[in-house]
Amino acid sequence: MKKIKFLLAFAIVLVLASCSSTMKYTWQNENYQGRAYEKILVVVEAKTHSSRLNAENLMVDQLKSEGISATNSISVFKPDERIEELSEEEIENRILSGGYDGVLISLLVDANSRDVREGGGTYMQPVTYRYGRRIRTGYIHMQEPEYYRQETTFVLETQLYDTKDQARKENVVWSGQSELTDPSSLDSAIKSYSKKLAKTLVETGIVKP
């Protein structure tokens, strides 16, 4: 599983969220029609054991809520292991011996930052003034201060491997990509993205509960 080994080595904990309920950008192998899976392995790699476990569990919970059988990868790939140092055969044997007929891997494919200009507009400021015995209200034009802030956008892709089919086990049968700009928190992003991922897989028939 050459591609699986590569993806496992570079998968990270960042996940994305957006306004729609399903992923906007998806691709499907033309020979893949979707099927039910007995057990899917969810893989997310992070800098710490706790963040990895938290991210995988959140994703597993959302998949299960859609009727998809899934488990985290902690029992397959130990926290202290360097996955990139494992052989292709070892990775494949662990996945298949664990009874996993599908593998979902999320990885960061792009991250870019840019300066965004904000402010600089004009608005009307009410002012009052006295004219003889009368008090009148008028308006003057005010200029908002202009400033720049840095905006960071992450692009994350999730790929599904069908490990049961010998002809496809080293190939991606489906992938979905989404973007997240300046997420407020990691946990909220994980929950939102996980919900999006699970709904996309079910509603498009990629994974049949």
Hey, CA dihedral for 108, 82, 165, 71, is it positive or negative? negative
pLDDT at 36: 94
104-113 pLDDT per residue, tens: 988 767 767 7
Average pLDDT over every residue of 89-103 = 90
Q: CB-based contacts of 124: which residues, under 8 Å, 6+ apart?
A: 139, 140, 141, 142
pTM recorded for the entire structure? 0.72
Tens of pLDDT, residue by residue over 35-84, are 999 999 999 766 677 877 888 898 899 999 999 999 999 889 887 787 77
Which of 1-5, 169-173, 196-200 shows the lowest per-residue confidence on average (mean pLDDT)?
A: 1-5
Cα distance from N-terminal residue to C-terminal residue, the chain: 26
141-159 per-position pLDDT tens digit: 676 777 677 777 777 788 9
Domain extent listing, the chain: 2-114+151-203
Looking at CATH, the fold of the domain delimited by 2-114+151-203 is given as Rossmann fold (3.40.50)
Of residues 136, 140, 150, 145, the one with CA closest to residue 182? 150
As a whole number of Å, the CA-based R_g of the chain is: 24
